[in-house]
Amino acid sequence: MNETVLHLGDETSYSAIAAKRLAPTMRPRPIASFEAMQEAFEKGAADFAVIPLRNSLIGDVPDAERWTTRGLRKLDEAAIPIAHVLAGCGEIGDIAHVLSHQAALGQCSAFITQHGWTSVPVDSTSKAAQLVRAAHHPAMAAICSAGAAAHYGLAIIHEDIADSSDNETLFALFAR
């Protein structure tokens, strides 16, 4: 058996946090997107995957049904608190575009709408931080974890930006 567990995003993603909790003895393997994770799983890169299923603010996580309808065994699940921050290279007044996973954009929709920003969906919250850092443009910001902001050298512009302070996501550990 391959004791590797796939998770969405890099080591700073919420999925990585869930993988550490649900599979602490397995080797984590970050994957960029749901599509790439499904392909890697089908090719045998791992026998386990941690998938975000449901969020307390938006309901079912988009693309999660790919995993729940495949006849895989659900070994465990855990609710992980989600504490989104707005991170970037400029000031709040400079921002025009906010990047994040579509689930995170939905969880912070009131904050985004209040400021009149354009939402730009990307593969994960950690990918959003990576892209904002690479662009280094004050008009771009990421919705991500504080850990992702620190990892990519981004300033935290605003904390606790979710539509509700009791934001959490249910993650599940699946096996072949």
Query: DSSP assignment, residue 63?
Result: T
In a shared domain, residues 113 and 155: yes
In a shared domain, residues 155 and 99: yes
Report pLDDT for 70: 74
Q: What is the CATH classification number for the domain harbouring 72? A: 3.40.190.10
pLDDT in tens, 104-122: 999 999 999 999 999 999 9
In a shared domain, residues 64 and 96: no
Task: Give percent above pLDDT 90 in the chain.
Answer: 79
Q: What is the mean pLDDT of residues 23-34?
A: 93
Burial 84-118 (b: 16+ CB within 10 A, else e): bbbbbbbeeeebebbbbbbbbbbbbeebbeebebe
In a shared domain, residues 62 and 29: yes
In a shared domain, residues 98 and 77: no
In a shared domain, residues 99 and 75: no
In a shared domain, residues 14 and 26: yes
Q: What is the mean pLDDT of residues 43-54?
A: 92
Mean residue pLDDT of the chain comes to 93
Q: What is the mean pLDDT of residues 39-64?
A: 89
In a shared domain, residues 76 and 91: no
Number of domains forming the structure of the chain: 2
- Domain hosting residue 99, numbered range: 85-159
Please report which confidence band the pLDDT of residue 42 belongs to, taking 50, 70 and 90 as the band edges.
Answer: confident
- Residues in contact with 7: Cβ distance below 8 Å, sequence separation at least 6, in sequence order: 13, 15, 16, 18, 19, 28, 29, 30, 31, 37, 49, 50
In a shared domain, residues 60 and 94: no
- Token pair listed for 101: 């996973």
Distance from chain centroid for Cα 28: 15
In a shared domain, residues 14 and 77: yes
Question: Which segment of 36-50, 72-86, 90-104, 134-148 scores lowest on mean pLDDT?
Answer: 36-50
Query: Is the per-residue pLDDT at 71 higher than 90?
Result: no
Place of tokens 């539509």: 163
In a shared domain, residues 104 and 132: yes
Alpha helices in the chain (DSSP H): 14-22, 34-42, 65-68, 102-107, 109-115, 125-135, 146-151
* Residue 108 to residue 140: CA distance in whole angstroms: 16
Query: Is the per-residue pLDDT at 67 higher than 90?
Result: no
Q: What is the mean pLDDT of residues 149-172?
A: 96
Cα maximum dimension of the chain: 52
In a shared domain, residues 53 and 122: no
Strand pairing of 97-101 and 118-122? parallel
Report pLDDT for 176: 82
Query: Is the per-residue pLDDT at 63 higher than 70?
Result: yes
pLDDT in tens, 96-108: 999 999 999 999 9
Query: Which H or E element spans position 78?
Result: strand 73-81
Report pLDDT for 1: 62
